[in-house]
A and B are shown apart, each in its own frame.
Chain A
């Protein structure tokens, strides 16, 4: 193996790592208060550990360089040297204890500052399910509550309290650009505060292995300006759009007559199932099937036609539809903006 080839081989992994960089899901691209605090903590710990590591390496190389003269009697004790070594070892152990205690305090202070709920925080209930996210906007006024799925909008520069619940297995909510991780555990309620400083789209991912489609359990968090957010809330609270033309109306009728309505809710129609995601405004969401495909009529049709090939093991059954029915249903769902 020539040295050039070996160099090339060692470069390839780093080049591949470059592919991991994306701005919308990275703890190092912090865009919200809690995430920024966590990033500072990460940098602090990595920096101090790097300095310690470098010092240890320097000391070791120095020791190797300056080999002791061969001793006449290896077991001989020289009191002066023994004392000096005792002082150095004690000093290093003491420094280690101080550094670790410092990390503990820093970590404690960081987690304390990022998890203080305010009184008037916007509260959203997130349900983790195999393999999608149920989202319910809570508020003091029950009439203003509404449900959606797999996508949440939050106003910028405001703390948002997420109430996390699980229904089947343990999931973990993780939007690295906005906050840390928090588990969703069946039978228990956890909370996490997220916050975005700038408008934008941030991706999250289930961070606790939860079965076959763990990798396809994404969530999108969209941070809006307060005006845009208010507009979005009003749009979401409204019942589903009325059918605009004949094809869409045919799709609606198919949806109601087939097993679709047994699991999904479309507010304003008789579809009121709660097993699957709320589809009232599915056409307006960026992705379908928890981040699997971008929402278009084509991808909706592909998903409905064969969900078990696109996301094997998920709980959406293959409902037999004729091509005309499939076209109509996908047009109907795409129209639900």
Chain B
């Protein structure tokens, strides 16, 4: 009986799987990932098919989220957005997305910039890096918890950990939409 039990445990161990880390993005895939379809007002839209074929790697893969977290510091996002609570730039933590909560909108904001001060990063970062950063930024103000989380903070905590306090809790009523084209509040 005991040996059967230990055998079952061993068999179950075989089910453990390490999350795949895609370290090298093929250049053609990167090119395809850059071809997002935005709505005419540049808010909302659809990522390319390849994004779904890869199983939304920048939203559901912890390695990409962790890399995004590092890029957030390395590319100076903190100087305007703080640790997510905002500053010169808007907050992400409050769950209110001026240009919509989809990863593709965040991708467009980082790549092309937005009015009133958000610079374009398309000459400073690669497609893969922009996607990683967009996925991470979305996690800061996510509406629902994900199974993937970026690495922990080494510094002092200035806000709830990403993924621990989905913004929906902070965002019951919803403010009036700031952008007339945005549609229903998320």
Which of A186, A259, A308, A320 touches B125 (beta carbons < 8 Å)?
Answer: A259
Nearest-CB distance from A314 to chain B (Å)? 9
Find out whether the CB atom of A312 lies under 8 angstroms from the CB atom of B23. yes
Tell me if A318 counts as interface (CB < 8 A to partner B): yes
Count of chain A residues with a beta carbon within 8 Å of a chain B beta carbon? 19
Chain A residues with CB under 8 A of B125: 259, 262, 317
Chain B residues with CB under 8 A of A306: 24
Tell me if B20 counts as interface (CB < 8 A to partner A): no
One digit per residue, 1 when the CB lies within 8 angstroms of any chain B CB and 0 when it does not, for chain A 249-263 equals: 000000001110111
Nearest neighbor of B27 in chain A, beta-carbon distance: A320
Find out whether the CB atom of A317 lies under 8 angstroms from the CB atom of B123. no
Nearest neighbor of B25 in chain A, beta-carbon distance: A318
Find out whether the CB atom of B23 lies under 8 angstroms from the CB atom of A317. no
Tell me if B30 counts as interface (CB < 8 A to partner A): yes
**Extra 17 A-B pairs, beta carbons < 8 Å, given A261-B124, A318-B30:** A186-B154, A257-B123, A258-B123, A259-B123, A259-B124, A259-B125, A262-B123, A262-B125, A308-B25, A312-B23, A312-B24, A313-B21, A315-B70, A317-B125, A317-B129, A319-B126, A320-B30
Nearest-CB distance from B177 to chain A (Å)? 34
Tell me if B7 counts as interface (CB < 8 A to partner A): no
Residue ranges of B at the interface with A (Cβ–Cβ < 8 Å): 21, 23-25, 27, 30-31, 67, 70, 74-75, 121, 123-126, 128-129, 154
One digit per residue, 1 when the CB lies within 8 angstroms of any chain B CB and 0 when it does not, for chain A 229-254 equals: 00000000000000000000000000
Which of A257, A319, A320 touches B31 (beta carbons < 8 Å)?
Answer: A320
Chain B residues with CB under 8 A of A262: 75, 121, 123-125
Those 6 A-B pairs whose CB atoms lie nearest each other, nearest first: A262-B124, A308-B24, A275-B74, A317-B126, A312-B23, A313-B23
28 contacts between A and B (CB under 8 A): A186-B154, A257-B123, A258-B123, A259-B123, A259-B125, A259-B126, A259-B129, A261-B124, A262-B75, A262-B121, A262-B125, A275-B75, A308-B23, A308-B24, A308-B25, A309-B24, A312-B23, A312-B24, A313-B21, A313-B23, A315-B70, A317-B128, A317-B129, A318-B24, A318-B25, A318-B128, A319-B126, A320-B30
Nearest-CB distance from A118 to chain B (Å)? 33
Tell me if A187 counts as interface (CB < 8 A to partner B): yes
